[in-house]
Amino acid sequence: MMAELPQEGEQSRARAGLAGYFRVVWTVAEKDVRTELRAKEILGTMAAFSVLAAVIFGLAFDLRVPRTELVVPGILWVIILFAGVLGLHRSFGSETDRGTLTGLLLAPVERSALYLGKTAANLLYFLVVEALLVPALLILFDVNLLKPLILLGLLLGTIGYVAVGTLFAALTARNRARETLLPVLLLPVLAPLFISGVGLTAAVLDGRAASEAWPWIGIIALYDVLVFAVAFLIVDLIWEQG
């Protein structure tokens, strides 16, 4: 894996310039995805959990609610929230377990590029799972979520989720109770995303005017911007010595 990172002669070039920066991001993301394709730790679990959860929700609600459109927005976002936590803690958990995190941190590159690369890999996992979940909800609940505004909200919401989630996964990787702690830390902080995601999905499914959907998108986008801005400011603090 380390061979993928810029070689000695390239260091200065890799560190300077935006292109070099994004090459580091790409390298880290590619490394993560390749490891995942070989180890199959994250994607399979997340996907299986998502479909399983959709079935469970179907059994829990289907006979009790008059129209499934009433509960599907909540179901969609709850599943994403919980499935996401499953995947995120492996993002740094597997690195810590194998002792490869130290190697990664020793690489002479910007820490924020490492964070961004990890975030990009996680984003890919999430999107793959969502691409599976949306059709699954269509089949189980007969609710079509393939509407442009819902998909836009889903994409932006996932970006914000992954941005916070990856950072928190890095924070909890060193904690004694990391697997159990991550959801407790994440879920309340994700409240604005969750509320807005459900609000947006419900507004679109109810067939309300697009002008009622855009404020939700606005909140989600604002959340994304704020989270990335703060993440970039503080990412160097996470991996200090100590």
Partner 1 sequence: MNETAVQGGAGRWFALLLVFDAVAALAMIAATWAALLYAGDAINLAGVEQVAQRIFYFHIGSNIAALLGFLASLVGSLGYLISRRLVWDRWAAAGVEVGTIFGVFVLLSGAIWAKPAWNTYWTWDPRLTTATITVLIYIAYMLFRNGFENPDTRARFAGIYAIFAFLSVPLTYYSARLFRSIHPIVFDGANQEAQGGFSIGPTMGQTLAMAMIGFGLLFFALLFHRVRQMELESRIDAFRGEIVE
Binding site residues, partner 1, CB under 8 A: 164, 167-168, 171-172, 174-178, 181, 184-185, 187-192, 195-196, 198-199, 203, 208, 212, 215-216, 219, 222-223, 226-227, 230, 234, 237-238, 240, 242
- 52 versus 233: smaller Cβ distance to partner 1: 233
Q: At closest approach, how far in Å is the CB of 200 from partner 1? A: 10
Give alpha helix (H) positions in 99-110.
100-106
Nearer to partner 1, 130 or 224 (CB): 224
Q: Whole-angstrom Cα distance, residue 227 to residue 156?
A: 12
Q: Of 129 and 203, which has the nearer Cβ to partner 1?
A: 203
- Provide the residue type at 236 as one letter: D
**Closer residue to partner 1 in complex, CB, 126/168:** 168
Residue 57 or 223 with smaller CB distance to partner 1:
223
- Least separation in angstroms between residue 128's CB and partner 1 is 26
CB of 81 to partner 1, least distance (A): 14
CB of 169 to partner 1, least distance (A): 12
Separation of alpha carbons 149 and 138, rounded Å: 17
Identity of the residue, 74 or 135, whose beta carbon is nearer to partner 1 in the bound complex? 74
Q: How far is the CB of 178 from partner 1 (least distance, A)?
A: 8
